[in-house]
Structure 1
Amino acid sequence: MKKKVILFSIVSIGLLAIVINYRTPFLQPQSGPWSIGFGLSEKFPDKMLFEKNILYPLEKLKQHNDSTAFLADPFFIKEKDTFYLFFEHKKYAPNADIALLTSVDGVNYQYKGTVLKEKFHLSYPQVFKYKNDYYMLPEAKRSGHVLLYKAANFPYGWKVCDTLIKNRELKDPTIYLSDTLNVMVASDDHLNMYMFEADSLHGKWRAHKKAKVMMGTEARAGGRFFADEKGLLLPVQNSTQGYGYGLSIYRFNFKGDNYTVKRELPFFLKRNEKIKEFNAGMHQLDIQKVDGKYYFVYDGNRLESDVKDLNFRGPIKWNYVDLKNWFYQQQCEYFN
């Protein structure tokens, strides 16, 4: 009897390990430099055809500054005849700054240097226009707050103009503003995404009554909200095979003071073996309607080598939290 129990335990543990490894491998690739890509579509793309799009790789940026080690998290805004593309730019460890590329055709970009530098790490430079002024909501987690910046002389002169959330370290705050809805999502270090709401950009931001949106390996925003006739779409990072592996699109629908969330386009971006710059993963997308067409920018990174690192703790943790998230979503749907 004892031998049967031992054998059953070994088989059960083995099967569990196979299931966990299948979904989130214990052996994970070593990722290297990041690059930015961009493209144009007549309609909202069902999928990305990266082979037809244009890249701005790390090597091109290095022509301007040999110390460049990183470019990622692209966000853009088009004003008059110019595309302004802001991105995370790491020159010297440990912190990154915000830098700028500009283009008059959305294809040929020119490097304009650093536009925002702090004593703490900056990334995710979500830039937007609100009531004729230009704002940036970057990730400033290491400052301990969610900080809002305003441009004194766009695209330069960025200064803190407001603290939207105080004394809370949050990643990748992503905002949506309209006449009827003002919401923001952001994530913590424990794989949880939270929602906040306010009466306006400069109003008092507070936790939504259903504050926790999701948790697990897809619980961190990967780009700005996009509004269509059905509601809001949000790119969300996927880290099942390591940080930066892919990105899914989620649908948010708001009704009164409640909302629902649905995974609408799984793995809209992910590792692409055909393009060396993106053969490790992709994790950022900014898509907007510009002059009647859909213009988008995204990022991805390449494999550092064929060597893979052994990681036991991560896959076990991520599968456990994803299972919790599944039960949480089922409960939310039941009560809604």
Structure 2
Amino acid sequence: MKKYLVGILVFGILVVLLINYRTPFFQQDGGGWSIGYGQSTVYPKEINVKENAIYSIEKLKKQNDSTVFLADPFFVKEKGVFYLFFEHKKTKSNGDVGVLTSIDGKNYKYSGTVLTQKFHLSYPQVFKYRNDFYMVPESKQANAVLLYKAYRFPYDWRVCDTLIANVQFKDPSIYVSDSLNIMVASDGKLNMYVYQADSLFGKWKLHKKPIALMGTEARAGGRFFADKEGLILPIQNCTNGYGFGLSLYRFSFKNGSYTTKRVSPYFLKGNTEIKEFNAGMHQLDIQQLGPNEFYYVYDGNRLNSDSKKINIWGPLKWTYIDFKNWIINQ
């Protein structure tokens, strides 16, 4: 009996050590977020953030001293001007949507707040559809996925449709085209759901295969990128806490169904050589602007200190869901 109990104890210790190795119980103390950006002549297989420019939280504070952080960047280029939309959290307020503008894609200036609501906003995915500009932000506190339209781009955004009602989804990412209209969004239980519609203004319904991903990589971290093989989506990796890194997943839709495949693990993650990004990275927007012109924006956060915070329940929960997801997909 004693040997049996010792065996159980040893096994339990090994399991705890394995979980802690994979998803540490002591996690970094992340602080302010900043935005980086760059360009390349081909789709980047990797991004060397050390070589790219950074629009830091310090730069924004010089123009708006109530700034707490900036994050979740999405951009569009219209008539030669880059518009970089981002979550702007100010002192004693919900998150708003702000915009940075640049005529060369290298030197950005703060051009103000473009959207504020009574609830928190983040993740402002802006896109052009049939000559108008739309935005699908995270509007979880409104209990819906809302669609906004710009009536005086890049300002004057108004709700024009409710895409999904009675849900509290994080980071909805949408892709619309003549042949495929899909959206992914994640709940608070680490599930990524897939919705589909006939068009942007069609009825968005759960896909017959509703859950695409579960666990520590199940929350979108940027815009879908379409290439000849299908779609690529940045997915947040939270194994070392929120905002730790990003992996790239390929979504392949065919005959009414789809598959997912992790194609670039840790495409972006914290870099100890860059103070603005030494804690982690969690957002990426890549677009092709011309035959040999790719432009991308991303964000990252810095360490508040060298100390770490203890989190027991999170790693246990995340490991369980990841293991469950692995079993289901075997």
Residues 254-333 of structure 1 aligned to structure 2 (within 5 Å):
254-292=253-291, 293-330=293-330
User: Displacement, 1:42?
Assistant: 1.1
Task: State the AA in 1 paired with 2:99.
Answer: L
Note the 1:191-230 alignment, pairs <5 A: 191-230=190-229
- Partners of 2:65 and 2:93 in 1: CA distance: 17
Q: Structure 1, residues 231-264: CA drift from partner, whole Å, max 9, x if none? A: 1000000000000000000001111110000000
Letter in 1 for 2:277: F
Provide TM-score, normalisation by structure 1.
Answer: 0.97
Say yes or no: does 1:71 pair with 2:70: yes
Deviates further, 38-47 or 54-63 = 38-47
Point out 4+ residue stretches in structure 1 off by more than 4 angstroms: none
Q: Note the C-alpha offset of 1:217.
A: 0.3
1:129 aligns to 2:128 (yes or no): yes
Equivalent residue for 1:35?
A: 34
Q: Give the Cα separation in 2 of the matches to 1:93 and 1:192.
A: 31
Deviations 1:204-242 (A, max 9, x none): 000000001111000000001000111100000000000
Secondary structure of 2:329's aligned partner: helix
Q: Distance in 2 between matches of 1:11 and 1:94?
A: 49
Question: Aligned in 2, Cα 1:94/1:20: closer, same or farther, shift over 3 Å?
Answer: farther
Corresponding position of 1:333: none
Q: Give, as a single letter, the amino acid of the residue that structure 2 aligns with 1:158.
A: W
Offset of residue 313 of structure 1: 0.6
Q: Deviation of residue 291 (structure 1)? A: 2.7
Tell whether 2:86 aligns with 1:87: yes
SS in 1 for 2:31: strand
Q: What percent of counterpart residues are identical?
A: 62
Matches of 2:215 and 2:66 in 1, distance apart?
A: 35
Q: State the Cα RMSD in Å.
A: 0.7
Q: Quick one: distance in 1 between partners of 2:122 and 2:265?
A: 25
Q: Deviations over 1:162-196 (max 9, x none)?
A: 00001111111101111110000000011000000
- Cα deviation, residue 94, structure 1: 5.0
Cα offset for 1:123? 0.2
How do 1:15-34 and structure 2 match up within 5 A? 15-34=14-33
Aligned counterparts of 1:250 and 1:214: Cα–Cα separation in 2: 10
SS at match of 2:318: helix
Q: AA paired with 1:4?
A: K
Corresponding residue pairs, total: 329
Cα distance in 2, alignment partners of residues 65 and 138 from structure 1: 22
C-alpha distance in 2 between matches for 1:329 and 1:194? 16
TM-score (norm 2): 0.99
Instruction: Report Cα offsets for 1:141-164 as digits up to 9, x if no partner.
Output: 000000000000000010000000
- Tell me the amino acid that sits aligned with residue 26 of structure 1: F
In 2, Cα distance between the equivalents of 1:153 and 1:94? 25
Helix, strand or coil: the match of 1:69? strand
CA separation in 1, counterparts of 2:3 and 2:24? 29
Equivalent-residue separation in structure 2 for 1:212 and 1:129 (angstroms): 27
Which runs of 5 or more structure 2 residues have no equivalent in the other structure?
A: none
Partner secondary structure for residue 269 of structure 1: strand
Query: In structure 2, the residue corresponding to 1:180 is in which secondary structure?
Result: coil
